[in-house]
Structure 1
């Protein structure tokens, strides 16, 4: 399966104008999964203000080109892997985030015991926490 990576084509396909800030943010995200605004600003050598990056990310998320993830105690992160049912694993020590494919494959992979006031439930967002191999190895070295 070929994945489209041309920011202009992706933006126009999502019904957005292809502006320089949106292209720059999307291009940076395509090679930096789970990036924070700080990560993106550094990747672009501070050429865009944080507010401009936030505005572009909001447009990209609203259009469905970008997914926003918010692990507890961590800055909001953004990724371009959208349109599938996957979850995340976060290292408690260094904050590394990796994608984890859903075991069941279709949403929602978990259902609440009840859903008072809701007609239906169509999605569950899971975040697992643990220690990545690199951090675990650092901890075990005397």
Structure 2
């Protein structure tokens, strides 16, 4: 691997997975009934793990009526449910449904297939090393994202 590729390998991986994601969203637009914006909101909901409507308003820099409308559309399409907080009935959490996770599995087929292909080319020690390093990258990305979101 030359130095240029080494410096940009993560960017290249992200670019290729995003391209696959966008293509799958557009290719399956009618089958999934999701727009690109709805797909992105679902990704945010998954990342934020059971966010409230207010959490989404803050994260997406959108108005509360706009977020509520989009959540209602996603609920009508069967990708999310709304759950009132037991502690505070004014708070509604957004929960992803099995329909979303089925959509996500289909969307993530490429990365799962690529990882299986890579695993098949490595011995046990190399696979362990690969996952340790991928976990390190993941933790660093998480740290950077948390800083960005503050």
TM-score range, shorter chain: 0.3 to 0.5
Q: Per residue, is there more strand in 1 or in 2?
A: 1
Structure (1 or 2) with the larger CA radius of gyration? 2
Write 1 or 2 for the structure with the bigger share of helix: 2
**TM-score, normalized by length of structure 2?**
0.41
